[in-house]
Amino acid sequence: MLVQYLQTLSFTHLVDMGCGTGDLLRELALLKPQAHFTGIDRDQQVLVEARHRLQGTALASHITWLAEDCARTSLPAGSADVVLFARLLHHLEDPAAALGEASRILVRSGYLLIREGQRLPEPLFAEMNEQLRKLGLPPEVHPGFEVEELTKYLGAQGFTVEDVLSEGSATFATPPYTTKVYATNAFLLSAQKS
């Protein structure tokens, strides 16, 4: 659904915050060859893999990879038409700082897209994190987000929420890391900068 939604938007520069190995950006670059893409991730190693996968292809010139914190990027203000957070916000200590950075780099009338999971009930979230800790794994930072709360926050930051679509399920942790699957409903939120 995310790729289909992005195909309906007209843009020249999309920034994927927390891009990982860049699978989504490669797919989008094939579908939108006139656009430029920037993938941002703090993990230098996943960006090395992303670059390696594109080495020697025509797509390599359409994607820039930056090893940076998504709350403080080197991108100029007003340089992106679309900023995307796909399953990243719940990993961040300060999601508000990352959303503020997205607002800074977006052009006026640019789009912020957030694909996330709805909030897990607190007992399930605590149970999941306890299992992760026992295995020496880092706990999740946030239990997901309530759409209404996120919509209100974005409105206060100068965004107008245009669409909220259900998008299957969002998984937080699965076996063998936990004894059961911890998942919640996923949503895709689209907001336009005023």
DSSP 8-state class, residue 120:
P
Separation CA 16–CA 37 (nearest Å): 8
For 121-168, the pLDDT digits (tens) are 999 999 999 999 999 999 999 999 999 999 999 999 999 999 999 988
**Options 3.40.190.10, 3.20.20.80, 2.40.70.10, 3.40.50.150; which CATH number does 2-119+143-171+186-193 get?**
3.40.50.150
Q: Cα-flanking dihedrals φ and ψ of residue 129, to 5°?
A: -65, -35
Separation CA 185–CA 120 (nearest Å): 9
Is the pTM for the entire model greater than 0.75? yes
* H helix runs in the chain, sequence order: 2-7, 23-31, 44-54, 95-105, 122-134, 147-156
For 36-48, the pLDDT digits (tens) are 999 999 999 999 9
3-state secondary structure of 147: helix
